[in-house]
Amino acid sequence: MSAQEVVQVPTAGNMRLKEMTALVRRLNTSNRLGIGLLSLVAVVVGLLFITIIIYLIVDGFAYIVNPSFYSTGVTGVGSEIFNTFYILILTEIFLFPISLAAAIYLVEYVPQGRFVAVVHFAAETLAGVPSIVLGLFGVLAFSDLLGLHTSRLAGALTLLCLNLPMALRLFEDALASVPRDLREAGLALGATKWRMIRTVVLPSAVPGLITGLILSSGKVIGEAAALLFTMGLNNPGNVFTANPGIASDTLTTHLYYIIGPGAGSSSLTHTQEIAITAGSSALLVVLLLLINLISRGIGRVIQRRITAA
């Protein structure tokens, strides 16, 4: 055997190197394919969301820029806008402190064990209940049992039950995301546990808390099924009042009634019904976008001031 033939014989090391090179090449190809597929899905979903938002805004733009659309007349939604913000504020007055207090207790005080697992299981079960079923529960528990009848307060308490599981988990995640080192540093300086939570944990968790507040606000504004039975579909003469004991409708319930069971049964023409539904849909999208932007801006300002103090 010549020296040239000996050199051409592949060694075990060379074969191993070729196998590793081929494996790395296959992994890189699979990685590029995976990233490409995920990017494609993300782009398609993003374009779908953007298309829906743009379509709704464009379809109702002519109505939301019309001042008469915000009147209290037959074709106006001024009363419904007031009721929407009223029920949002009233619900958050109950939802935010209850959810935050429960999250603080579960994250900071209770040992992670069976009790926390049971609470999470109950919250996840409640989160899976359809909103119309919770609406019927609100009628039985709040309207009939507590004697609140069809009212704003009954609707707010029903929305509290509907949004409590989501708000609780979001607030828990926000508190749990705060590094443990910050907690230990606060306690090492001699602070009590509650003072450490109030001055260290809560300011650090403000972005997550604001996110939970925004998401729950969006669900409150966009909810209709749970309010159909508890809050009603009609407005009294004194709708512009802070009285929580009166019945009233929101943008979503009014939209449902106009395009659903109330279609053709009121004094509105078909053209007016289409105008109200298109304008209400666009207005809801714009309100949610504004609430999102304003809440995030307020959250950043609060966090800077609290952390600076």
Q: What digits encode the pLDDT tens for the residues 286-296?
A: 888 888 888 77
Q: Taking the domains of the chain in order of start, what are their residue ranges?
A: 3-43, 66-308
Residue 146 identity (one-letter amino acid):
L
Q: Is 254 within 8 Å of 80 (Cβ atoms)?
A: yes
Higher local confidence (pLDDT), 270 or 177: 177
Q: What is the pLDDT of residue 10?
A: 56
- What pLDDT band is residue 3 in, cutting at 50, 70 and 90? very low
pLDDT higher than 90, residue 96: yes
| Whole-number Å distance between alpha carbons of 160 and 166 | 10
pLDDT at 1: 47
Which pLDDT value is given to residue 164?
Answer: 93
- Residue 244 phi/psi, 5-degree rounding, is -80, -5
Of the ranges 68-72, 94-98, 208-212, 267-271, which one carries the lowest mean pLDDT score?
Answer: 267-271
Q: For the segment 53-66, what is each residue's pLDDT rounded down to a tens digit? A: 898 888 888 888 88
| Contact yes or no for 172/200 (Cβ under 8 A) | no
Across residues 216-242, what is the average pLDDT?
Answer: 86
Say which residue, 225 or 75, is predicted with more confidence: 225
Give φ, ψ of 74 to 5 degrees.
-65, -40
User: pLDDT above 90 covers what percent of the chain?
Assistant: 27
**Of 43-47, 199-203, 282-286, 304-308, the least confident:** 304-308
**Average pLDDT estimate for 94-99:** 94
What pLDDT, on the 0 to 100 scale, is given for residue 277?
Answer: 86
pLDDT at residue 308, as a whole number = 63
Per-residue pLDDT, 191: 81
What is the residue whose two structure tokens read 């407005």?
235
Min mean pLDDT across 7-21, 188-202, 265-279 is at 7-21
pLDDT in tens, 18-56: 778 877 888 888 888 889 899 999 999 999 989 988 988
- Average pLDDT, stretch 109-128? 88
List the single range of 62-76, 100-114, 256-270, 287-301 with lowest mean pLDDT: 256-270
CB within 8 Å of 120: residues ≥ 6 apart: 169
Nearest-5° Cα angle at 177, 173 to 182: 140
> Is 162's pLDDT higher than 70?
yes
CATH of domain 66-308: 1.10.3720.10
